[in-house]
Amino acid sequence: MRSRDRSTSWPLPVTLLRMNSNLHGQDPTNMHRIELKLRDIGQLFNTMDPSPFNEKDLDHDAEEFIVSWAREFPLHEPVALVVHLGTLPPDQDPQSMIERAIHHYFAYRVELNRLEFRHLMQDGRRSLFTGLVFLATCLTLSKLLVGEGAGAFSVLGRESLTIAGWVAMWRPMEIYLYDWWPVRRRQKILKRLSQMPVEVRQQN
């Protein structure tokens, strides 16, 4: 079992803790638990967001903390969130309220991530088309320079055009080889967080 404590510069002092454990009697060998210790419920959300409580954005530091720990867990293993509150709301049920708010927020983040992936693929298609057209143009011009003889300038021109054409393919290759999979992995993590069990406990 591994744990970590961290203090941040949030509006109110807060201790964040994560550890592997079981939740609601589930098997501790495959249940990962992220724990937050907060002074009150307001620390969990962005105080500048005027939306209704169930639609509020999470505090940026809280979101990054939860997501960063969730990244460390295998995607096929379950994760749960436990929120320890120093002060419980006197006239509200914090359990269902916080769970709905967190699920709503991460579901919203899943949709944003899907849009990001879609735009990335659109960018990849556009850059691939542009790169192929430019590469074909450069290779055609390079072949035309063959008839100009084997002079130094002809050789330099052919080599330059060939290199320039393949350099134009760098962006689509970067997208399709490297850029897409971190976005897809983040989407899977956010989807898991949008469905994770949430438990609220009062600190002793």
- Same-domain check for residues 35 and 98: yes
Count up the domains in the chain and report the number.
2
**Residue 19 predicted with pLDDT over 50:** no
pLDDT digits (tens, 9 = 90+) for 142-193: 888 766 556 677 778 888 888 999 999 999 999 999 999 999 999 999 999 9
**pLDDT tens figures, 65-107:** 999 999 999 888 899 999 998 887 777 778 888 898 899 999 9
Q: What is the pLDDT at residue 50?
A: 67
- Same domain flag for 18 and 68: yes
Task: Tell me, yes or no, whether 124 and 146 share the same domain.
Answer: yes
- 135 and 87 in a common domain: no
Do 102 and 11 lie in one domain? The reply is yes
Cα 164 from Cα 175, distance rounded (Å): 19
Assign 39 to helix, strand or coil.
coil
The range of the structural domain enclosing residue 130 comes to: 117-186
- pLDDT above 60: residue 6: no
pLDDT value of residue 150: 61
Residues 85, 140 within the same domain: no
Q: What is the pTM of this model?
A: 0.75
Fill in the DSSP letter of residue 54. Answer: G
Predicted confidence at residue 1, as pLDDT, reads 35
Q: Are residues 133 and 47 in the same domain?
A: no
User: Do 55 and 109 share a structural domain?
Assistant: yes
Q: Rounded to an integer, what is the distance from CA 4 to the centroid of its chain?
A: 21
Kindly give the pairing relationship between strand 198-202 and strand 32-38: unpaired
Round to whole Å and give the CA distance between 158 and 145.
6
Do 121 and 151 belong to one domain?
A: yes
Do the strands 15-20 and 198-202 form a parallel or antiparallel pair, or are they unpaired? unpaired
Per-residue pLDDT tens over the stretch 111-148 = 999 999 999 999 999 999 999 999 999 988 888 876 65
The pLDDT of residue 17 is above 60:
no
Top pLDDT among 150 and 64 is at 64
Question: Using CA atoms, how far apart are residues 38 and 202, in angstroms rounded to an integer?
Answer: 10
Both 125 and 63 in one domain: the answer is no
43 and 124, same domain (yes or no):
no
Whether 31 and 96 share a structural domain: yes
The confidence band for 10, taking pLDDT boundaries of 50, 70 and 90, is very low
What is the dihedral sign for C-alpha 147, 152, 155, 159? negative
| pLDDT surpasses 50 at 25 | no
